[in-house]
Structure 1
Amino acid sequence: MSTFLQLQVDTLAQAIPTADTANAALTNEVSVLEFIFKGGLFLIPIALLLFYTLYIIFERYIYIHKAAKIDNHLMSDVRNHLNNANIDMAVMAAERSGTAQGNILKEGVLTIGRHINEIESNMERAANIEIGYMERRLGQLGLIAGIAPTLGFIGTISGVIKIFYSISVTEDISIGNISGGLYEKMISSGAGLIVGIIAYAAYHLFNGKIDGFSLSIQKQVLEFVNIIQRPNGHKAK
């Protein structure tokens, strides 16, 4: 009986990790930065794409947020000045806004006196120019959304090739050898997908905002045409 109890105590002592074992496990833990660096050389271009993507997002957000702003009071001011036959004040009101809407309305005010179709056409061309300014570099976001995941997959594939080449040379097919090298190479795939998702989401969010501006400015052009077609003193509804 004492021998059986002694065997149980020895078994429990072996099963419970000692302090030294726990400390060794903690020591073997890899920091997040070290974990990322294990992804290989393909993480360098992916990281560069990430920084460039964040720069484009920051720069485009500031520009589009300012340029695509629609001020309903601006149209009211322009209407009042035109009804009072004060074209110069209408131009000044449009210039003060500092938005794409103001530039488009300014183009319409400056062409008053021409045929209505020409005025509308000029305003639409001005709107297309402003939309073109807003869409600058958005194509690059779409390109990054496709390139970054591809770079990640290439990094993983090259790592897998190296793993199997090492196995063919050393004939070491242990699970630890395969899984250890494979998880390191899959880091590049994960990083590429993350960068691609960020670029893809930003691309479509910005385009959605620009589409909303395009719809709003079409309404503004129609309202402006209605204003100049009506006799002075009658406000457009």
Structure 2
Amino acid sequence: MQLFVFFLIQTQSDTAAAADSLSLAAQQDNMSMFELLSEGGVLMIPLFILSLVAIYVIAERWRSLNNARIEVDGFLRTVGEMLKDGDRERALTYCDGIDKPLPRIFKAGIRRLGRSIRDIEDALSNAGKKEIYHLEKRMNWLATIAGVAPLIGFTGTVTGMIEAFMDIQSLQGNVNPSVLAGGIWEALITTATGLIVGIIAYGFYNFLLGKINRMVHELENASADFIDMLQSPSSKSKKERTKVG
């Protein structure tokens, strides 16, 4: 019986010690990420700033592109019915009430009604260029980050290795791995961080650029359909031809 009690107490003691060890290890793991990044040196500051800018641009452009989408067929049909009825002012008011690229492009064309088709096409083209510019706004920031972040990381590699060799020279070759650890940490961490930031920025740049290209294609097709609609006979002219006949 005494042997069993002793075994039980010893087991509980071992369990408590193991729990304390796990708790200490967990605390060390929680601190390790910050400590790991802090070993990257001063170049981690611009990398951190670039990562924040990249997150801002990605979120802002994603939200802006999603808000710019519109049901093209329904919008074109509604505007077409208003114009066929000869209600130009109503069509302008309808476009004014929708703050999206396609209505703004159509509004520029509707204002030129009564002029030649060439003038209307020029108005649509100029308005479309303005909208494309706004759709691509800040995308150059993302492209720049995708290229600059890895270069900053590689710069950290160079400075880290320079620091390591300076330590070797100052100690006249009598060094151990722990002496070189600081420079090697800086070299590896800045390189890894720069590559991660650059890869994420480059990936989202291509993803958002694909969304922009699809939207531009939709705007161009809708503008062409708008011109075709203007060149088709209006309901008013059809009624007049019917009466004459």
What displacement does 1:181 show? 3.8
* Residues in 2 aligned to 1:99 and 1:28: alpha-carbon distance in whole angstroms: 51
Query: Which of 215, 218, 223 is the aligned partner of 1:216?
Result: 218
Written as runs of structure 1 = structure 2, the 5 A alignment for 1:151-190 is 151-170=152-171, 171-178=173-180, 181-190=183-192
Query: Which of 193, 196, 217 is the aligned partner of 2:195?
Result: 193
Written as runs of structure 1 = structure 2, the 5 A alignment for 1:17-32 is 23=21, 26=25, 31-32=32-33
The equivalent residue for 2:96 is 95
When normalised by structure 1's length, the TM-score is: 0.83
When normalised by structure 2's length, the TM-score is: 0.80
What displacement does 1:180 show? 6.0
Q: Which runs of 5+ in 1 are unaligned?
A: 1-18
Q: Is the 8 A contact 2:146 2:199 kept in 1?
A: yes
Aligned-pair Cα RMSD in Å? 2.3
Task: Tell me how many residue pairs correspond in the alignment.
Answer: 215
Do the aligned partners of residues 28 and 215 (structure 1) sit closer, same or farther apart at CA in structure 2, a change above 3 Å counting?
Answer: closer
Q: What's the secondary structure of 1:97's corresponding residue?
A: coil
* Residues in 2 aligned to 1:69 and 1:204: alpha-carbon distance in whole angstroms: 22
Q: Report the AA paired with residue 159 of structure 1.
A: G
Q: Report the AA paired with residue 62 of structure 1.
A: R
What displacement does 1:28 show? 6.8
Do the aligned partners of residues 202 and 28 (structure 1) sit closer, same or farther apart at CA in structure 2, a change above 3 Å counting?
Answer: closer
The equivalent residue for 2:76 is 75
Q: Is the 8 A contact 1:70 1:216 kept in 2?
A: no
The equivalent residue for 2:110 is 109
1:147-201 Cα offsets, whole Å, 9 max, x none, are 1111111012101111011011112343444456413431011111111112212
* Residues in 1 aligned to 2:80 and 2:138: alpha-carbon distance in whole angstroms: 35
The equivalent residue for 1:231 is 233
What displacement does 1:70 show? 4.3
Percent of aligned pairs sharing the same letter: 29
Q: Which runs of 5+ in 2 are unaligned?
A: 1-16, 237-245
Question: Does 1:37 find its partner at 2:38?
Answer: yes
What displacement does 1:115 show? 0.7
Q: Is the 8 A contact 1:152 1:192 kept in 2?
A: yes
Q: Is the 8 A contact 1:145 1:197 kept in 2?
A: yes
Runs ≥4 residues deviating over 6 A: none
Do the aligned partners of residues 61 and 148 (structure 1) sit closer, same or farther apart at CA in structure 2, a change above 3 Å counting?
Answer: same
* Residues in 2 aligned to 1:76 and 1:145: alpha-carbon distance in whole angstroms: 42
Q: What's the secondary structure of 1:31's corresponding residue?
A: helix
Q: Is the 8 A contact 1:40 1:185 kept in 2?
A: no
Q: Report the AA paired with residue 159 of structure 2.
A: S
* Residues in 1 aligned to 2:82 and 2:47: alpha-carbon distance in whole angstroms: 54
Q: Report the AA paired with residue 117 of structure 1.
A: R
